[in-house]
Chain A
Amino acid sequence: MLAFGMAATFSRSQIEAIAALAHLRLDEAEIELYARQLGEILEYANQVQNIDTTGVPPTASIGARHDADRADVVHTSLTRASALANAPDANLDAGLFKVPRVIG
């Protein structure tokens, strides 16, 4: 089994910055927890840095070498009503998703 390295830690401000990028609000306990756990997981994941990948191309996905294009033909899709049916706040008559005010 693989060995664990010493745990690294993230600072509180680093965790807050990552959370902001992810549109994720965290409570105090989560900030503390993730600061420790993210450090531990990355310390472990850091073993990939020791592998020589000179000249090795990245694998972004497997297969999908075939032509996935289709003819540009209009076909039926979701109705507006069914597309809006799961929205937490929608104006069904106008056909709009509603969000909180963005501009003052």
Chain B
Amino acid sequence: MSQFATLRDIRDAVQSGARSAVDVCTEALARIEAHDGTLNAFNTVTRDQALAQAAAVDAHPNRASLPLAGVPVALKDNLCTLGVRTTASSKILEHFVPPYDATTVAKLVAAGAVAVGKTNCDEFAMGSSNENSAFGPARNPWATDRIPGGSSGGSAVAVAAGMTPLSLGSDTGGSIRQPAALCGLVGLKPTYGRVSRYGLLAFASSLDQIGPFTRTVEDAALALQVLAGHDPADATSAPEPVPDYAAALTGHAKGLRIGVPRALVSDGVDAAVSKAFNEALDAYREAGATLVDIELPYASAAIPVYYLVATAEASSNLARYDGVRYGFRAPAEGGPGTQDDLRAMYGRSRELGFGHEVKRRIMLGTYVLSAGYYDAYYLKAQRVRTLIRRDYEHAFEQVDVVAMPTSPTPAFKIGERTSDPLQMYLADIFTVSANLAGLPAISLPCGFTADSLPIGLQLTGRMFDETTLLSAAHAYERQTAWWKAQPPL
């Protein structure tokens, strides 16, 4: 079985006894060891724990009943893992060891998955390139001088490089879908509330969602099956029943109505991305889908709304990192034997513990929430957010899914945009609306540039209708071979 085997292939082989979970795990660990020096996908590799989890799967009396039997999984380093350090790629949490597992982590392991480590990401998931990590950038396996996307860059790299067939990321404004697109993978952001966030280090609580990276749409469906569902430990998780996602994958697009916001995607999109996107639409049409031109008049305001809402929530969520209960505390400024006062300790711990982008967003969020500006910025942004939601509600009266490119450009070079945060924020132009509206969205491979850089197609669906979303994505994937391509490692 190749390193690029799918989750489904590995699961089937372990369930049937054709392969042992320990064998699969050993191969994944070897692959990580061979390539992570270059790619920097992992902050922590949990070799011993992974082998123990794999041995437990092999010893399971009924491993055929485990829906993810022996599937190696890489976990974004902002998901709490019992006894395994969880850093969010920040110095302030460099030595933080959670006393509990995130619900998603516990569910995966209970389903037979084997957690091989914690992946690199932008610090506290703030970024679109993985360059804001305190532990250095992760690198795109398709071109190692380029970014893998972010913020869940390491999770994307782990799957793209054939280290694991599955990883988890978190998506606040595109942080699963954009790196999936830039690394040639399937990345799914489920509906807000579909997957428990208990144990996810909060960035922007009204936007954050956890989801999988996989090589195929079917694998995404199999992973979501395990991840989805209500969790009493997360008050925002939804009680809606969980359908059989894989059963909905018919491979047919006949009768599917696809909305295309032409005005939005006509400007500022790289020519190769535009070409691949239009060819994907043609493929859908040939497969029997109907393309419908739609308007999303407020979508152009999504980036400003996002950066007002997300930074406001981040400034509040990150107030907890103050050097008292966990995380880094700066030593007293006067040296050993002296003591700062409390406020100085807070200020210095946060100064030295947080990186530039995190500080920038805390500053912006604090400002937009401060007296005199709250109404003009935060409240105003929340009102426009309502208009963006309504745009989609109107669109879904006519169509089943909305199609856009995932990212306006392919992977850019490391260092190219670091000096201009605003330019970096524009990478999220097509992805942030799904978070603002709470909608499920998926990115899947739809081509390559002339330089062999992957391009992603994004589909957005109705609230809690991952079934239609996955089915639509699967129909396209079955007609194409993009997902089979492997990076030149």
Q: Determine if chain A interacts with chain B.
A: yes
Chain B residues with Cβ under 8 A from A87's Cβ? 324-326
**Smallest beta-carbon distance B464→chain A, Å:** 9
Contacts A26-B351, A78-B99, A78-B100 given; does A63 touch B323 at CB 8 Å: no
Asked whether, in the complex, the Cβ of A63 is within 8 Å of the Cβ of B351, the reply is no
The reply on B377 being an interface residue by CB < 8 A is yes
CA distance A21 to B366 in the complex (A): 7
Chain A residues with Cβ below 8 Å from B239 are: 66
Q: Are A64 and B235 in contact (CB under 8 A)?
A: yes
* Chain A positions within 8 Å of B347 at CB level: 19, 23-25
Q: Across the interface, name the chain A residue whose C-beta is closest to B206.
A: A61
Q: Are A102 and B367 in contact (CB under 8 A)?
A: no
Q: Are B235 and A68 touching (Cβ within 8 A)? A: yes
B307→A57 contact, CB < 8 A: no
Q: Which residues of A contact B381 (CB under 8 A)?
A: 45, 48
Query: Which listed residue, A44, A63, A85, touches B438 by the CB 8 Å rule?
Result: A63
Instruction: Report A10 CB to chain B, min CB distance, Å.
Output: 8
Least CB separation from A30: chain B residue: B359
Interface string of A1-24 (1 = CB under 8 A from B): 110100000000001001101111
Q: Which of A58, A70, A99 contacts B383, CB < 8 Å?
A: A58
Q: Is the CB of A85 within 8 A of B193?
A: no
Q: Which of B41-49, B338-346, B466-474, B481-489 is found at the contact surface with chain A? A: B338-346
Q: How far is the CB of B249 from chain A (nearest CB, A)?
A: 25
Q: Is the CB of B315 within 8 A of A22?
A: yes
Return the chain B residue nearest A45 by Cβ: B304
- Is A60 within 8 A of B301, CB to CB? no
Interface size on B (CB < 8 Å)? 80
Interface SS of A by simple majority: loop
Tell me which residues across on chain A come within 8 A of B322, comparing CB atoms.
23
> A83-B99, A100-B341 are contacts. A64–B236 as well, Cβ < 8 Å?
yes
Segment touching A, from B67-75, B114-122, B221-229, B421-429: B421-429
How far does the alpha carbon of A34 sit from the alpha carbon of B238 in the complex, in Å? 39
Instruction: State A65–B85 Cα separation when bound (angstroms).
Output: 35
- Does B379 have its Cβ within 8 Å of any Cβ on chain A? yes
Instruction: Tell me how far the C-beta of A44 lies from the nearest C-beta in chain B, rounded to whole angstroms.
Output: 6
Q: Is A42 an interface residue (CB 8 A)?
A: yes
A27 touches B351 (CB 8 A): yes
**Bound-complex Cα distance A30 to B350 (A):** 13
- Bound together, the chains give a CA A63 to CA B308 distance in angstroms of 20
Which residues of A are in contact with B by a Cβ distance under 8 Å?
Answer: 1-2, 4, 15, 18-19, 21-27, 30, 33-34, 37-38, 40-42, 44-49, 51, 53, 56-64, 66, 68, 70, 78, 82-83, 85-89, 97, 99-102
A-B contact pairs, 21 of them (CB 8 A): A1-B426, A22-B366, A24-B347, A25-B350, A34-B359, A38-B360, A41-B421, A45-B307, A47-B301, A51-B298, A56-B386, A58-B386, A60-B206, A62-B438, A64-B236, A86-B95, A87-B324, A97-B324, A100-B332, A100-B345, A101-B339
Q: List the 10 closest pairs (A to B, CB-CB), nearest first.
A: A1-B268, A62-B438, A58-B382, A88-B329, A25-B347, A86-B326, A53-B383, A68-B235, A45-B304, A82-B99
